Amino acid sequence: MTILETKDLRKTYGKDEAIVHALDGVSMKVEKGEFISIVGTSGSGKSTLLHMFGGLDRPTSGNVIVDGKDIFEMKDEELVIFRRRKVGFVFQNYNLIPTLNVYENIVLPIGLDGNTPDHEYIDQIIHTLGLESKLNNLPNNLSGGQQQRVAIARALASKPVIVLADEPTGNLDSKTSQDVLGLLKVTSEKFKQTVVMITHNEEIAQLADRVVHIEDGRIVGGGNNV
Amino acid sequence: MFNVNNKKTILKLSKTSFKSSRMRNFFAIIAIILTTVLFTSFITIGGSLISSIEEGVMRQVGGSYHAGLKRLSEEQYNQIKLHKNIEDISYSVILGIGENKNLEKRQTEIRYTNDSKNALGMFSMPTTGRLPEKDNEIATDTLVLELLGIPLELGQNVTLEYSVGGEKRINTFELVGFWVGDPIIPASQVWLNRSFVESELSSFVGEYPNDAIGTINANVNFSNDYNIEEKIVKVIIESGYSLNEIDYGINWAYIDSNQSINIFPILGFVFMIALSGYLMISNVFHISVAKDVNFFGLLKTIGTTPSQIRRIIRFQAIRLCVVGIPIGVIIGTLVGALLVPKVFSVISVDVVNVEIHPIIFIISSIFSIATVLISIVKPSRIAAHISPIEALRSSDNLQRNNKKNTRPFSLMRMAIENILRNKKKTLLVTISLSLGLIILNTTFSLANSFDMDRFLSSMIDSDFVVGHDSNFNSNSFYTDQKTLDRDFFDSLFEQQGIEAVSKIHFAEPYGIVDPSLSRVITEANEKLGFTEDRLQAMKDQLNSTKHPLHIYGLDGGALSRLSILQGELDMEKLKTGQYVIAEPFDSEKDILYYGIGDKVLLPNAEGVEKEYEVIAIADIPYNISIKHWHSITPAFYLPSEVFLSQIENKTPMLITIDVNEQSIQRMEAFLESYSKTIDLNMSYQSKASISAEYENTQRTYQTVGVSLSILIALVGIMNFINTVITSIHARKLELAMMQSIGMTTRQTRIMLMLEGLIIIGFALLITLTIGSFISFIGLNSLVSQSSVMSFYFTVTPSLICTPVLLLISVLVSHMSQESISKDSIVERLRAIA
């Protein structure tokens, strides 16, 4: 079952001679339960692509279909609500709310949606990520690896259809990177999550089920099932 | 210690970081401008007040000179004028008093002077024309010319009657100068030429050694008005004379004006202004330091010392002052100039003299700079002690501990958390907002504390009070012979609608004072603590053989208005002419001149004394009393019949008139036309005009108070706006991130609005609790000292302001959110990475 599909996705910045093609006709599919990584150098367009997947940025042309819906047919507010229900984000710089403790950060998207968290499920995530002893800590009192684990927990908490990770290990040392990625992989398997991760690090990328290479806004390898 | 290069570098750093904080600069300048406006307008009002009171007193005294020397001989004058401490000295010589029939109503002194400075110092310098230079020339004021019926034109003939040594002289002169006469100055001057006056006086000088006529009256100015008495005494003694030989007088304008201003309310107000300025400026810098924490951290890592960082911030603050203070001074002067007439009408100072003086600019600038420098102390200290490592992890909540709170999510809770992130900032904003509201409430309460009934009864308790002008105008010369004309009563009783007329007769004979009254002085001094001068004056008065007594003869209506403190108002006994009611020394009746049963000797108009027994102690309402006192003035009240038969048969000094409702306007019209056309010396007060005055007073208190509280409230609101905007901008990232994980724009907007509303809620809470407590105590102490106020307290003005504040809060948070939402989420998120 295809959970995410893009059709001839284009994004351009600027005009005329100064035109920059951040995305130049990207078409790809992601199947449910897949863990894929998108690899490219900086400026290759991988971040733009990820932002498109999550509805953070609108394309110049083309479609993004998530869970059977063309997300750019939605209005901004609808998109936000779609995002908080269907998409979980993990950012390079964790993006935790400094005033909320670990537990509150994890359940924040659920709270924003006006729902009560599924405690059993949340507890499982917390247990898997080894955060039980940190629940009352504020983000500033955690190490980078711990913060990223909280961000992963937050991304999974609302049971999204897809988790998007933007250089999740970019700020971590290699040992911690391995730990965090291992956890990301384990949890996504355990909770049957689809994960799209972007990275510039080939070694990390190899942990994924499939590696998609992107250069100058075009897929140059790994997008073979289109 | 530090070299020039270092200073240059610091300046450069200061400049670059200065330019990057536009918003901080904007709000800081607004704060500095508002603070300076408050200081300048306040000092302008205060300064104008002092100088106007001073000038008002000078006009009553009739001169602006520091001191006067009387009855000098030419030799004495020539000796004294050489003294080195004298800045300038000039003199005049009196020929006599104008005796024309038309001049009876105005004391007119005929003089010559050796120097135009002397005429200036006596407010009697011709503004049209000049001083006389030939023997047939004359200069005088418009009051004299009008009384004599002479047109206000140079070249007119002026005929003057006067006496020299009892011999009547009539001479005609040519008018060569005049100026606008001031009725408040006790006498008008007529200037003649020196040689003419000297020839007129040639045969009489020396015959009147104790009289002012023909002797030199010198007016002296020193370099400043500090301690004038000491200076003039020094001049006399060092010139080789004794104080017995030479009589001196001090212009009490220079003594009185400085004492009549109470320093504590002024200090309190200056403190309030400084506090409101401090709250905002300090907050602006706190916020900017928190924002630039990375910058300061970086400076620290590359070896900038804490004192250098402090200097960077101080440079910036001073640059902001350079822009803000001049603007503030200009606006403040305008505000002050607008408010001065308002303030003056309240405290019935009638000389409007808006003081615009460089010293005001300097003082308010100094106050403002001081406020700014104090305000940046703490923020600079924080910036100076930022550790480079912490700076990298910086965020608003560096100091916070973990929290065990896991209650369900709500936007409200997030908003509260956000506000509590920086408790100090929140507190500063809240207090600064409350300050404006508290002052607003206090002002309104104060204005409403004026009790119309108490005010009126203290001023007037009948429809009209009529009397000689000297009873109403404390500046005009007064004797107990200035009574109402019999003709007036004939006209009065022709009027319709009169319900009651009460007559107040009055005599001020000199009697022999019972030496036992020295006990009163001792008691009063223990209780009230007189100044040395006052005490001496009272003792001198007791020791003198002649001593003024106040004796009232009151109609039944007026007698019944006395407030009886002891004994009874026994009309039967009083009418026998054997008994009298006595006044206590002070209104609290603790100190009595005489007790019930004491015998007193009261003289009649011929000086024949008769013994009366005191049967009651009572006080007379202010509005029907004689408003002139000596240091010790025992007063006695008799029924009118007894007064007229046993003391003096004369027309009343004052009368009170009550008329029926329909006749009030007619009576007012009658009194007005009578006092303006028939008897110019007659004057009156009406309940209607006093209640209009009351309303005017109340309105003025409101205008002035509200203007000042609006300014202070503006500081608070600016502070609030700045805080909201900067806190939203500082969280640009965080908000973008919240949106990336699913917070809708609506939710963000609600959360931000809640933050603003909570601060306003806190401010209201402080205003209503602590603020009310403070204004309550303040008002209470003011009201209890005042005879015309009843306690009134309201918080309505702050509640009325609430919707406005809420609206501002909603608008500001909405607009700042809009402005940060201009960038897409991606752009905002990228900005962090």
Choose the closest CB to A56 out of B393, B401, B826.
Answer: B826
- The per-residue pLDDT for B260 is 45
Tokens of A43: 């400026």
Residue B217 has pLDDT above 80, yes or no: yes
Distance from CA of A185 to the nearest CA of B (A): 21
Q: What tens digit of pLDDT does each residue of B176-187 get?
A: 999 988 777 778
- B623 close to B788: Cβ distance less than 8 angstroms: no
Between A107 and B267, name the one with better pLDDT.
A107
Confidence of residue B455 (pLDDT cuts 50, 70, 90): low
Chain B residues close to A99, C-beta within 8 Å: 397, 414, 417-418, 421
Alpha-carbon distance A33 to nearest alpha carbon in chain B (angstroms):
21
Q: Which of A98, A116, A154 sits opposite B741 (nearest CB)?
A: A154
Cβ-based contacts of B739 with chain A (< 8 Å): 80
What pLDDT, in 10s, does the model give residues B640-658? Answer: 988 888 888 888 888 889 8
Which DSSP letter does residue A147 get? H
Identify all chain B residues contacting A92, using CB atoms and an 8 Å cutoff: 833
pLDDT class for B544, splitting at 50, 70, 90?
A: low
- Give residue A20's pLDDT band: very low, low, confident or very high (50, 70, 90): confident
Distance CA B113, CA B190 (A): 10
If you measure CA to CA, which chain A residue comes closest to B832? Answer: A93
For chain B, which residues lie within 8 Å of any Cβ of chain A, measuring from their own Cβ?
Answer: 393, 395-398, 400-406, 408-410, 414, 417-418, 421, 734, 737-747, 824-826, 829, 832-833
Give contacts of B405 with chain A, Cβ < 8 Å.
101, 104
Q: Per 3-state DSSP, what percentage of chain B is helix, strand, and coil (rounded to 5)?
A: 55, 15, 30
Q: Identify the band that residue B204 occupies on the pLDDT scale cut at 50, 70 and 90.
A: low
Instruction: For chains A and B, count residue pairs whose Cβ atoms are closer than 8 Å.
Output: 103
Indicate the range of B53-67, B249-263, B618-632, B661-675 predicted with least confidence: B249-263
- The pLDDT of residue B134 is above 60: yes
pLDDT over 70 at B697, yes or no? no
CB B414 within 8 A of CB B738: no
pLDDT band, residue B577 (cuts 50/70/90): confident
Cβ contact B395–A92 (<8 Å): no
How far away is chain A from the Cα of B826, in angstroms, using its nearest Cα? 6
Question: Which pLDDT tens digit goes with each residue over B16-41?
Answer: 777 777 778 888 898 889 889 888 88
pLDDT at B257: 44
The alpha-carbon gap from A76 to the nearest alpha carbon of chain B, in Å, equals: 9
Distance, in Å, from the CA atom of B816 to the CA atom of B23, rounded to the nearest integer, reads 12
Does residue B219 surpass a pLDDT of 80? yes
Give φ, ψ of B598 to 5 degrees. Answer: -65, 150
Q: How confident is the model at residue A110 (pLDDT cuts 50, 70, 90)?
A: confident
How close, in Å, is residue B436 to chain A by CA atoms? Answer: 31
Look at A109 and B742 and tell me if their CB atoms are within 8 Å: yes
Contact status, residue A205 vs residue A39, Cβ threshold 8 Å: yes
Residue to mutate among A11, A53, A57, A112, with most B CBs inside 10 A, is: A112
d(C-alpha A216, C-alpha A202), whole Å: 17
Which neighbouring-strand residues pair with B548? B510
Chain A residue with CA closest to B410: the answer is A111
Option in A92, A99, A135 nearest B417 (CB): A99
Q: Which residues pair with A204 in a beta bridge?
A: none
Block residue for tokens 């259809």: A161
Cβ separation of A56 and B734 shorter than 8 Å?
no
Identify the closest residue of chain B to A93 by CA–CA distance: B833
- pLDDT tens column, B64-88: 888 888 888 888 888 888 888 888 8
Return the structure tokens found at B374. 């104090």
CB nearest to A138's CB, from B402, B409, B743: B402
Residues 6+ apart with CB under 8 A from B307: B384
What is the band of B534 on the pLDDT scale with cuts at 50, 70, 90? low
Looking only at the bridges linking them, the beta strands covering B188-192 and B108-113 are parallel
User: Tokens 């951040």 appear where?
Assistant: A22
**CA dist B111 to A83, B62, B97, B171, B212, Å?**
100, 15, 9, 14, 11
- Across the range B537-543, mean pLDDT stands at 70
* Separation in Å, CA B629 to CA B478, B508, B548, B683, B755: 11, 11, 9, 20, 64
Dihedral through CA A144, CA B413, CA B718, CA B315, nearest 10?
-20
Strand (E) or helix (H) holding B615: strand B609-619
pLDDT at B391: 59
Kindly identify which residue of chain A lies nearest to residue B827, measuring between CA atoms: A57
Predicted local distance difference test score (pLDDT) of residue B833: 43
The one-letter code for the residue type at B157 is N
List b or e across B144-178, with b for residues whose CB sees 16 or more CB atoms inside 10 angstroms.
bbebbebeeeeebebebbbebeeeeeeeebebbbb
Q: Are A86 and A66 a contacting pair, CB within 8 Å?
A: yes
* DSSP symbols for B52-120: HHHHHHHHHHT--SSEEEEEE-HHHHHHHTT-TT-SEEEEEEEEEE---GGGTTS-EEEEEES-HHHHH
Interacting residues of B832 by C-beta distance below 8 A, sequence separation 6+: A93, B733
Q: Which of B322, B245, B654 is nearest to B465 (CA)?
A: B654
Note whether A107 contacts B747, CB cutoff 8 Å: no
Of residues B52 and B765, more confidence is placed in B765
**CA nearest neighbour of B70 among B305, B244, B248:** B248
**Residue pair B825/A80 in contact by the 8 Å Cβ criterion:** no
What per-residue confidence (pLDDT) applies to B192? 92
Whether residue A213 contacts residue A39, with contact meaning beta carbons closer than 8 Å, is answered with yes
Which of A48, A56, A58, A41 lies closest to A20, judged by CA? A48
| Nearest chain B Cα distance for residue A201, angstroms | 17
CB contact under 8 A, A140 and B393: yes
The residue of chain B nearest to residue A49, with distances taken between CA atoms, is: B826
Q: What phi and psi, each to the nearest 5 degrees, are found at residue B795?
A: -115, 5
Domain limits, chain A: 2-221
What are the contacts of B11-17 at 24+ separation with CB within 8 A? Answer: B11/B315, B13/B299, B13/B304, B13/B312, B14/B311, B14/B312, B14/B313, B14/B315, B14/B316, B14/B319, B15/B315, B17/B292, B17/B295, B17/B312, B17/B316
Q: Does residue B824 or residue B495 have the better pLDDT? A: B495
Interface contact flag, A136 B404, Cβ < 8 Å: yes
What pLDDT, on a 0 to 100 scale, did the predictor assign at position B275? 85
Report H helices in chain A. Answer: 46-53, 76-86, 102-112, 119-129, 144-157, 174-190, 202-205
CB contact under 8 A, B741 and A83: yes
Distance CA B589, CA B583 (A): 9
B741/A138 touch (CB, cutoff 8 Å), yes or no: no
Entry pTM: 0.63
For domain A2-221, which CATH number applies: 3.40.1180.10, 2.60.120.10, 3.40.50.300, 3.40.50.1970?
3.40.50.300
Question: Hey, where are the domains in chain B?
Answer: 1-55+257-394, 64-250, 405-454+689-833, 483-680
DSSP single-letter state for residue A11: E
* Mean pLDDT over the full length of chain B: 80
How many other C-beta atoms are found inside a 10 Å radius of the C-beta of residue B633? Answer: 17
- CA–CA distances in Å: residue B414 to residues B11, B290, B407, B650: 41, 21, 11, 86
Q: Are strands B547-548 and B609-619 parallel, antiparallel or unpaired?
A: unpaired
Q: Do B385 and B391 meet the contact criterion of CB atoms below 8 Å apart?
A: no
Let me know if A182 is exposed, middle or buried by CB neighbors in 10 A (0-12, 13-18, 19+).
exposed
| B746 neighbourhood in chain A, CB within 8 Å | 77
**And the tokens for B743?**
């917070």
Give B390 to chain A, closest Cα distance, Å: 11
Beta bridge partners of B171: B160
- Are the C-beta atoms of A40 and A64 separated by less than 8 Å? no
pLDDT digits (tens, 9 = 90+) for A41-94: 888 888 888 888 888 888 899 999 998 889 888 888 888 888 888 888 888 888
Query: Residue A195 corresponds to which amino acid?
Result: V
Q: Which helix (H) or strand (E) holds B603?
A: strand B599-603
Torsion of CA B308, B314, B318, B324, to 10 degrees: 140
Q: Out of B409, B738, B745, whose CB is closest to A77?
A: B745
For chain A, the 3-state helix, strand and coil shares in percent, each to the nearest 5, are 40, 25, 35
Window 90-119 of A, Cβ < 8 Å to B: 91-93, 95, 97-101, 103-104, 107-113, 116
CB pair distance less than 8 Å for A100 and B737: no
Residue carrying the six token digits 């460089």: B358
What are the tokens at B197? 């006056």
**Closest C-alpha among B186, B675, B212, B190 to residue B477:** B186
B833 to chain A: nearest residue by CA?
Answer: A93
Kindly state the percentage of chain B with pLDDT values over 90. Answer: 8
d(CA B504, CA B502): 7
pLDDT digits (tens, 9 = 90+) for B280-321: 888 888 888 877 777 787 777 666 778 888 888 888 899 899
Contact B161, B99 (CB under 8 A): yes
pLDDT at B568: 83
Contacting residues of B for A98, CB less than 8 Å apart: 395-397, 421, 734
